[in-house]
Structures are given as structure tokens and as C-alpha cells.
Structure 1
């Protein structure tokens, strides 16, 4: 006997509607994936065109720009991963003790490497690409170790995290020696460094959301994502143009009490005093760089232990770090187009702005003051670094600029580590810690101004 007309299609229609719903979801996901793919391809193609503009493609600078974008993308993924493990899963006291110990140990190799790495890169210049690639490969390996340590709770977590930090800082030094060899005709070193910095901001901005999504499945997945990024960066480093390793006709800068020269098979090593304006700009830059390391370490533990109101620690850190990233982008953008300000004045203004922002944050501690502090620190660090680069380009002979850049970057990395160490060592009291930061910067400002050369050539 046939079913009633109303009953026959009921089950079939329900199944049909369910199937239609699944197909609709599938079509929606497919459309979303295709749209994301098109957006990604468009973004990548646009970024590559921008990287190759102005002769950067022909000179090989675009390859360094692409590699640097992967480098900062990997660093961003590691930072997001460690924010959920190193700082938030380990008891505060234990984490501070271990991070302070390893950061303290980090200072020793930097103190040893600082006076040696410039001459080393100059004498063994045929290995610059491999030196850059080694910093990438080291981080790739350590990210894989970190991923396993996060899952198993291994004691390798802190040493591996320290190794990633050291390799990241070493990358900044090795890259500085390569940039002058890839600058296109008509470019300045300041413009080349600004374009590199912008590519780093883009790389971090694109990578951070991806790493954040991966981290929702576990910190180990964002670390594995970072592993892939650093592997790609390693390959790109090895594929850099061969002229990165060419040193014929160049001279290295060996700091000393007076001028002299020794002749080698490929280059001369010139012993000369650093120009006073360069020394002044470098000393002033140590302030913003010290503050960067101090804020990262101090606020990471402070906001975990003493969050502000109902704000989550992760959100507060995101506000400060995001503000610093925004400020960095603003500083690079302003510095790359503004040529009227004297570099010697710019580095002083950056140091004053940092001191004032830290003091305001200490007196009016809150979300708004921390966000303002992050933006100010980002702008000051970017402008101060561009001013230092401009001073080196102006006052240091072109044939020894690569050595000068390597030495200045090493000094700034050491300042960052010192700031991070102090940020971990002081008590987690907002007004006290930020007050100490303001006092250190004010004292450093007084020292810098007391050593300012009487006559600094105009920019």
C-alpha cells in the first residue's frame, strides 16, 4: 500500500535539505579558500614587484628583501608560540629565574663576538651567504626541538629558546654586512635598509595571524610553521647573488687609536678611529634599543602577574607589541621620506621621546599609557636607526661601510640583551619597573649629551 502523499517525501526532503546544507558549506569553504588563495597570490605578486622596483631586482637586493620577510615571519611565529609556553605555562618565579640566567649567559657571547665579528666577516667574506644561511638553519632546527619540548615538557625548552634568540640577533649582524653589496645604482643605504625594514613588517603582519591560528591547535604547530619558514629562508640565503661574497677592492675597518693599514690578498684592513658623529649616533641608539629589550621582558612577566583590570594578558601584550609594530612602520615611513632633519638631532629626539613615554607610563600606568609607550618606542627606534645608518653612510668611507654597519648592529644587539636582562631582574611592580626604565634612559641621555662632539657636520 503506498504511503500517504505527505509522509512519503518527508524523510527524503530532510535528507535532501541536509545534503544541500553540506554542499552549501562545502561551496562556501571552497569559495573562501579560492578567494584567500587569490588574495595571497595578489599580495605576494604585489610585494615582489615592490621589492624589485628601482633596480632592486637587477642588483639582487630584492632577493635579500624576500629572505628578510621570511626571517621576520618566522620570528613572529616563534614569538607567538613562546608567548603561550615560555611565559604562560611555566610558574612565574621559575620562568624568570631561568630566562634571566640564559639571557645573562647570552651577554657573554655577544660581548666576545662584538669586537670580532666585523673583522671575521671581512676576512672570510666568501662565506657571507653561508653565514646568513647558518643563522636561518639554526633557528629551523631549534624550532623543531622547541616543538617537541613543548609537547613533552622537556628541559630543552629554555636552552632552545635562548638559541633562537641568539641566532636571530646574529642574523642582524650578518645581514648588515651583506646589504651594501646589493644596493642598486642611485639607491642609498638608508633607503635600502628602510625597504628591508618595511618588508620585515609586512612579513610579520602576514605571518602573525597564520601562526595565531596554528597556535590554537597547540604551540607546537606554530613552531613547526616557523620551522618551514626558516627552511625557506635558509634556501633563499644560499641563493643570494654571488657578489655578496665578493670583497676584491674593499677595505675592512679595524677600530684603533690611529690610522694604519695592512695589505692582504683581497683587501686592505684599515685601522682608523670611528668618526665622532657615528660614535655619538651609535651611543644614542643604544637607548631605544635597550628600551626595546627591557619592555619585552619586563612587560611579558608584569602583565602576566599583574594584569590591568579585566584585560587578558595576551590582549595587553598584543596592544603593546602591536603599538610598537605600528610605531616602527610609521618611523620607517617618515624617516625614508623626511630628509630635512639632521641625524644628530633625530637620535636625540628619539631618546628624549622614549624617556618621556616611559615616565608617563610610570606615572599614569594603564592600557592607554602602555599603548602610547609601545607606539613611541617603535617610532623612536626606527627613526634613530635610520639616522645612524645615514650618519654611517655620510661619514664612513664607502669601502669600509659594511664593516661599520656590522659593528654598529652588534653593539645594538648587545644593548637589547642588556635591557632584557634588567627587565627580568627587577621586581614586578609597574611604577617601580617603569620608573627604573625612565631613570636609566634619563641617565643615558645625560651621558650621551656629555659626549656629544662640539662640531657635527650637517646632514
Structure 2
């Protein structure tokens, strides 16, 4: 026995030839398989979902009993009481049972894959609240904002509408991403503030509501509508920066973002929008009050509280390297960037690689079409001599097509392997541009609805592909910054498409001809970037697929290179 022990020592215990067990494999008794660090700073390209290297999460412990087991004595009492239940009690018990089952279904979906331990569940509910606030705002301001501007006869009023509601956001959006990089320990507070400020704006609207005419003064309506739009977009950018910090170890960012979008659409847009519409109808007819605005207040207060329940580890910013869209070729210069420079607050930055830039250009093209479809059909519906039901049917057809496409796109994206995400984005961009061109030629409502279906589905798939590129081609310390920057650019593209929808003439073929003229150059830049070139210097695909970190400016570059 002793001879065998000497010849075959137990690995990791004795000295001699036994080698110690590695401690960085993420295998801890009683915890999930949670890698503590990555070898190098690049992940292998994903063929299937793999455990993440999210170093910001604490160890995830095993599931524990939540104490919700069923007492056998209670089951026996319920069985004996079942014989004495009346019809009313039976209906009440049935409703409670259905409600419990529905709650259990939602709870299991929200906490699946360890989302309750990583913090993803805590982020899910503010996302749902944000979707609900957006839906309630659309209900509250539908007749007083979009349709009122659409029916204006003079071009000056339409231009004023564009100036107040869209143009300022085009200036604010590029500032959100860089501001996030400087936001050190206030991301949860910033998320809560985006809800709190919307609560204040909703209170301002209520205090200035004219019950006799059912409208608001223009000097109150437009600034409040602008503020709510900017705060909603800011929440989206902030959420994109927080999401990588709460990613469970067993799924990737594509699945995480698809899950958040599905919860937002189902719980926020559909359920929250339905509640807002019902309250608006009841309070308008009974009390002559803007019911949907009260729903905005309730949802915003709830969203602010839920945002503060997100785990504290999303605040950790140590070791982050900001991402940048531009790229300067320093391939001929030697680098020694293993240490940050003294006296520099942000010595390095991470340029985005070719696949990410290609995916970003393609998503911007699709987002411009999404913004156009969000505003332009409302203007077309109101400008024509049609009854209210005909206008509702026109918008309902396009909205239903967009909703079906969004669900189908998210469902498909969650099940795709996404082996070559940039190539998939190029195909989606071509499909959307072709749909816009066909709608411009046909100029019929049915073709426009098909274009909305294709656009919303392609938008979901292209966004998932962009998420895959960001996760695969960037080091972990730059992903949060890259998600924030990319979301800011996408929101700016949405504003650009919406501006076309506001300014262009309200005839279907004219409008879609205008948006097609915008999409074609963006499509060309996407294809050229995919092939490794660029139409815009410094912002195209003439860069490596995976770019090394570089100094922030030329002064730092000269110190690093010694020149």
C-alpha cells in the first residue's frame, strides 16, 4: 500500500510529483461554476452559450429552501372544506389559484439561470417599469402631441414641433455615453433619477391640464414631452451600461438583453399600456382628468424604488477602460501599456473592432427606419380626411405588424448561434433597406405594414448580433462603456429617422422615398465596413477585428512609446 502511494501520489495534496489543483477555475464547493478571471483578455469566439467571466459578481451560493412548502395538515383541511364551498367561494378560490400560478410562472422566468443571485432579476423590474411609463406616455399624449402636430397646416408649426421635441435630444444623446464613463458611484441613483424626474414632469402636466378642452398649454406640453423622451432614452443608455455587471454566469449578453426586451414588451408595453388606456378612458369620461398621466406617476415612483434595489456591485468601476468609436492606426509604434500612466486619469481607451463597427453601422441604419416608422404613420393618418376609426385602423395595422415582428425577432435571436454576427447584421440591413424601397415604389398601406414587420424583426436580430460582437471582441473591462456608447449612437440614429418622418410630406410614397434616400448611404457604409474599408475616415471597418488598447491622446502616446 505504501509503495503504491509513493508511486502514485494524490494530485494536489502531497509534495513530490503531485501538482496543486488550480484555484482560478471557478469551482468552489457549494457555489456555481463562476470563473474568477479570463486567460489573456480575449474570449474565444462563441459557438454556444458559455459561462461568463463577470468578475464583479460575488460567489453565487446554491439554491436554498424558501420555506414555501405545503403543510400536509393544511392540505387535509382544504380537502375537507372543499365539500362546503359555494359557487362564489369556488370562483374566488379559482381566481386565486390562477393568480398564484401566473405569479409563479413570472417568478420562475425572472429568476431563471441564477438571475436572482446575479442581480438580473433586480434590473428586470425597472426595465418593465420604463416600458410601462413609455406606453402610458404614448397613451396620454397621443391626441395632444403627435396628432395635434400632424394636423397643423403651417410648416412653421411642424418645424417648431421638430425643434422642441427632437432636435435637442440630438444634441444631448452624444453626451450621455461619455458622461457614463465619468459616472463612478452613481449608476443606480442615475437610473432612479430618470424615473424621479419623469414623476416631476407628470405632476407639472397634471397641474396645467385644462379639463374643459382636454389639452395642455403648448409651453408646458412640448418641454415636458421632450424631457420624458430624453429621460427614457437616458434610462436605455444607463441600462445598457449596467447590464454586463448583472449577467448570470450561465448565459450570455444576447440572451440577457433578449430576456429584458421580452419582459419589457409583455409586462410594460402590453400590460402597462393596457392599464394606462383603461384608466385614461375611465377618468376622462368620469372625472375629466388625464388618467394615463396618473399611471405615469405611479409607474415612475415604483421604477425609482426598484432601481435602488439593484445590487451594489454595479457601482464598481475599478479597472474599467472606456470604449471609443474612432480608431487611429499605431501599428508601427511599439507599446508598453501594461501599466496605467502616472498623472493620467484615464490613460487608455479601447477602440471598437471591425465586426463591432460594422454591426453598429447596420444597427444605426435599421434604427433610423424604426424612428421613421414611429412618427410618420401618425402624421399620415391625421393628414388624410378619415374618421377616427379609420385612423385607428391604419395605425393599428402598422403597430400590430411592428409588434409581431419584434416578438418574432427576439424569439429568433435568442435561439440563433450567431457565429458571424456582423454578416447577419449586413443581411438584416439589406432586408430593411429593400423593404423601404419597395414601400416607396408601391405606396400602399399593406406594403408599409409588411415593411414595419420586416424592420422590427430585423431590428431585434441585428441588436442581438451587435450584443454578440460586443461580448466576443472586447475585454471585460470595456464592455459596460461600449454598451453605453453604442446605445447612445443608436438613439441618435432613431432621432435622425424620426426627424425625416416629421419634416417630409404626408404621402406614403414621398415619405418612404425620403427615408430610402437616407438608408442607402448608411447601407453602403455598412457593407464597405464589413469589407474592411470606410467611407468616413476613422469610423469604418479599416481596422483589425480585435483592436488593442491605445493611449487617450498624442501626449500620452509619446510618453508610452518614448517618442
CA deviation digits over 1:62-119, x for unaligned, max 9? 11012111110111111122112213356424663332111122212224x0xxx444
Q: Does 1:252 align with 2:311?
A: no
- Number of the residue aligned with 2:105: 46
Q: Does 1:277 align with 2:355?
A: yes
- How much has 1:192 moved relative to structure 2? 0.9
User: Which one of 187, 203, 209 corresponds to residue 144 of structure 1?
Assistant: 203
CA distance in structure 2 between the partners assigned to 1:33 and 1:87 by the alignment: 43
CA distance in structure 1 between the partners assigned to 2:97 and 2:303 by the alignment: 23
CA distance in structure 1 between the partners assigned to 2:430 and 2:190 by the alignment: 36
User: Which one of 243, 258, 273 corresponds to residue 194 of structure 1?
Assistant: 258
- Number of the residue aligned with 2:511: 433
Query: What SS does the corresponding residue of 2:417 show, helix, strand or coil?
Result: coil
Query: What SS does the corresponding residue of 1:450 show, helix, strand or coil?
Result: helix
| Cα pair 1:328 1:378 within 8 Å, conserved | yes
- How much has 1:362 moved relative to structure 2? 2.5
| Cα pair 2:254 2:414 within 8 Å, conserved | yes
- Number of the residue aligned with 2:406: 328
Query: What SS does the corresponding residue of 2:144 show, helix, strand or coil?
Result: coil
CA deviation digits over 1:356-405, x for unaligned, max 9? 22222223333322321221111011111111110111111111111111
CA deviation digits over 1:259-282, x for unaligned, max 9? 867458999652233211111110
- Number of the residue aligned with 1:230: 300
| Cα pair 2:500 2:515 within 8 Å, conserved | no
Q: Does 1:86 align with 2:145?
A: yes
- Number of the residue aligned with 1:315: 393
Structure showing the higher helix proportion among its residues: 1
| Cα pair 2:361 2:525 within 8 Å, conserved | no
CA distance in structure 1 between the partners assigned to 2:209 and 2:98 by the alignment: 33
| Cα pair 1:191 1:336 within 8 Å, conserved | yes
- Number of the residue aligned with 1:169: 233
User: Which one of 149, 154, 157 corresponds to residue 217 of structure 2?
Assistant: 154
CA distance in structure 2 between the partners assigned to 1:441 and 1:397 by the alignment: 32
User: Which one of 384, 404, 409 corresponds to residue 462 of structure 2?
Assistant: 384
- Number of the residue aligned with 2:277: 212
What is the RMSD of the two structures over their aligned residues, measured on CA atoms?
3.0
CA distance in structure 2 between the partners assigned to 1:133 and 1:226 by the alignment: 14
Query: What SS does the corresponding residue of 1:71 show, helix, strand or coil?
Result: helix
- Number of the residue aligned with 1:15: none
User: Which one of 152, 167, 170 corresponds to residue 107 of structure 1?
Assistant: 170
CA distance in structure 1 between the partners assigned to 2:180 and 2:517 by the alignment: 37
Query: What SS does the corresponding residue of 1:84 show, helix, strand or coil?
Result: helix
Query: What SS does the corresponding residue of 2:322 show, helix, strand or coil?
Result: strand
Query: What SS does the corresponding residue of 1:92 show, helix, strand or coil?
Result: coil
CA distance in structure 1 between the partners assigned to 2:514 and 2:251 by the alignment: 41
- How much has 1:202 moved relative to structure 2? 1.0
- Number of the residue aligned with 2:73: none
| Cα pair 1:248 1:267 within 8 Å, conserved | no
Q: How many residues align?
A: 428
Judged with a 3 Å threshold, the aligned counterparts in structure 2 of structure 1 residues 406 and 33 are, in CA distance, closer, same or farther, namely farther
- Number of the residue aligned with 2:369: 291
- How much has 1:48 moved relative to structure 2? 2.3
- How much has 1:329 moved relative to structure 2? 1.3
| Cα pair 2:354 2:545 within 8 Å, conserved | no
Q: Unpaired runs of 5+ in structure 2?
A: 1-85, 533-540, 547-563
CA deviation digits over 1:340-367, x for unaligned, max 9? 5521121111111111222222233333
Judged with a 3 Å threshold, the aligned counterparts in structure 2 of structure 1 residues 273 and 237 are, in CA distance, closer, same or farther, namely same
Judged with a 3 Å threshold, the aligned counterparts in structure 2 of structure 1 residues 349 and 187 are, in CA distance, closer, same or farther, namely same
CA distance in structure 2 between the partners assigned to 1:145 and 1:159 by the alignment: 11
CA distance in structure 1 between the partners assigned to 2:294 and 2:452 by the alignment: 29
- How much has 1:29 moved relative to structure 2? 11
Q: Does 1:354 align with 2:432?
A: yes
- How much has 1:34 moved relative to structure 2? 8.6
Judged with a 3 Å threshold, the aligned counterparts in structure 2 of structure 1 residues 410 and 38 are, in CA distance, closer, same or farther, namely farther
Q: 97-106 vs 330-339, which deviates more? A: 97-106
Judged with a 3 Å threshold, the aligned counterparts in structure 2 of structure 1 residues 144 and 64 are, in CA distance, closer, same or farther, namely same
- Number of the residue aligned with 2:82: none
| Cα pair 1:308 1:366 within 8 Å, conserved | no
Judged with a 3 Å threshold, the aligned counterparts in structure 2 of structure 1 residues 282 and 197 are, in CA distance, closer, same or farther, namely same
- Number of the residue aligned with 1:11: none
Judged with a 3 Å threshold, the aligned counterparts in structure 2 of structure 1 residues 356 and 294 are, in CA distance, closer, same or farther, namely same
- How much has 1:174 moved relative to structure 2? 0.7
Query: What SS does the corresponding residue of 2:163 show, helix, strand or coil?
Result: helix
